[in-house]
Amino acid sequence: MASFLFRLIRVLIVFSIAGAAAFWLFSIREKPHKVEVVRTPPGVRVIRAVSATEAMTVEAFGTIAPRKKVDVAVEVAGRIDYIHPRFREGGAIKKDEVLIRIDQRNFRLDRDAARVRVEQAAADIRHLTQEIENLKADAGLAKTNMALSLKERDRLKALNKNQFASKTSLDKAEQSYVGAKIQFQSTENQLALTPSRMAQKRASLAMAKTDLAKAELILEKSEIRAGFDGFVLSKQAELGEYVNPGQVLGTIYETGALDVDVRIPLEQIKWIRPLFDNGQMPEARVTIANLEGVSLPAWNARVARIHARIDEKTRTLPITLEIQGLQKKNGNQSDADNPLIRLKPGTFVKCSIVGDTRENLFRIPRYLLREDDTLFLAVNEKLEIREVSVLRKFDDEVFIDGGLATGDQIISSPLPGAVAGMAVTIKSETK
């Protein structure tokens, strides 16, 4: 019993000390200061709306193709004895340069022989012309001789009637007259045949000239010349090779004569249609699509023609653009001489066709447009949810043609729990 009381006393003492310590700590505590919570409007960033005149651009992709591509084919048979040093794939050629030449020795001999035949035919005509002149002179003499013979015969006939001339003299005069008449008739007959003989000679000369022209043409065709400045697309000929007429020896295309076929979705046609309605051909800008990490050059282009049918697979309208030239940078066109970025057939390009121009449009980032074509605006430091008229959504941008005014502050930062009329604080403003 005594030990129980002793343990109880010790427990009571411990509790008393703990209680005293707790009371002391409670009495020396600092009283908390009351701070009133001030609710501040959320801070937002805004973009100031600015209207401008915008061109409705239609973008499409296509592959460059040469507008003028020529297969270099030989027209005469023979062995190749010359090939231009730059007639190889990628080589630059100039107009009228000889690209390939066939052995010309036989062709030159044929030409020389044709020239000899022309000269011979011309000599025959000159000889016949002189012969005609001689026959005309002979005919004149024969006619005079015939007249004299006739006069002599008539004189002797009159004398014979009065028995002053013998019958023998009269017969001789008669024979002389007949001989002169036969000579005159023979000369006239020869003259009558000269037109047909001259026609034959002239036909022979014409045939000889034709043969000469043909020989010169064959000689000319033995040299294949470039019809324009361009580049060699392919080569299928070697020096010393024997070729036949019609055999393709390579392909060339004209410098700067490049096209690109693009396909425009039908719903995008409305942006370029007004230009066609006014008889204009839209301009375009062409860049290399897969050229990354370098300053992209751009080429001017224009719509050249619209194809006659809609693509059945893609339901798009094919349009051909003509490349016109490299856009100048800082007043020069140094990029045009760079073979690495020069446009070549087969290049995959991006084409931006400049369509109709619209005024008083607001172009804003697409992410600012909320559901139901609405925008968050900061008006008098309060949120206004305004519905706008969207003309076009293009890539990452939106063109608005109604519901906005110049100077409106469009909220560009996230605003969770947005409620129309709630207070907002503007942090920064951009255009």
- Confirm whether 31 is domain-assigned: no
How high is the mean pLDDT of the chain?
Answer: 86
Mean pLDDT to the nearest integer, 21-46: 71
Do residues 202 and 112 share a domain? yes
Q: Mean pLDDT throughout 24-29?
A: 70
Q: Is the pLDDT of residue 144 over 60?
A: yes
Rounded CA-CA distance 99/172 in Å is: 83
Report the pLDDT averaged over residues 155-170. 76
Which position has the token pair 């008669």? 174
Q: Domain check: are 98 and 229 in the same one?
A: yes
Do residues 122 and 215 share a domain?
yes
Q: What does the pLDDT average to over 90-101? A: 93
Task: Quick: pLDDT tens for 238-283.
Answer: 999 999 999 999 999 998 889 999 999 998 999 998 888 888 889 9
What average pLDDT does the segment 373-398 reach?
A: 90
Residue 2 has a pLDDT of 62
Among 360, 384, 407, the domain-final residue is 360
Residue 32, pLDDT above cutoff 80? no
pLDDT at 99 over 60: yes
**pLDDT of residue 361 exceeding 60:** yes
116 and 204 share one domain: yes
In DSSP terms, 400 is beta-bridged to: 362, 390
CATH number at residue 404: 2.40.420.20
Q: 192 and 148, same structural domain?
A: yes
Of 21-30, 123-132, 215-224, 405-414, the poorest mean pLDDT is in 21-30
pLDDT of the residue at 430: 64
In a domain, 245, yes or no: yes
Do residues 267 and 196 share a domain? no
pLDDT in tens, 193-207: 889 989 999 999 999
CATH number for the domain including 192? 1.10.287
Q: How does pLDDT run across 391-419, given as a tens digit for each residue?
A: 998 888 999 999 999 999 998 888 888 88
What is the domain range of residue 228? 69-103+223-253
Instruction: Tell me the CATH number at 299.
Output: 2.40.30.170
Look at residue 243 in the predicted model and tell me its pLDDT: 94
Under DSSP, is residue 127 helix (H, G, I), strand (E, B) or coil?
Answer: helix
pTM of the prediction?
0.67
Better pLDDT: 261 or 26: 261
> Is residue 182, in this structure, part of any structural domain at all?
yes
pLDDT confidence band for 350 (50 / 70 / 90): very high
Tell the burial category of 38 from Cβ atoms under 10 Å away from its Cβ (0-12, 13-18, 19+).
exposed
Q: Say how many domains are in the chain.
A: 4
Q: Please indicate, yes or no, if residue 17 is contained in any of the structural domains.
A: no
- Is residue 204 domain-shared with residue 277, that is, in the same domain? no
Could you tell me which residues come within 8 angstroms of residue 188 by beta carbon, excluding any fewer than 6 positions away? 139
The two three-digit tokens of residue 425, written as one number: 């604080």
Task: Say whether pLDDT at 331 is over 50.
Answer: no
Establish if 345 belongs to a structural domain. yes
22 three-state secondary structure: helix
Q: Considering the domain boundaries, does residue 213 fall inside one?
A: yes
Name which of 384, 388, 374, 387 is nearest 419 in CA terms: 384
- C-alpha 151 chain-centroid distance: 90
For residue 269, being part of any structural domain is answered with yes
| pLDDT at residue 217, as a whole number | 94
- Answer whether residue 11 is part of any domain: no
Helix H or strand E segment including 196? helix 167-221
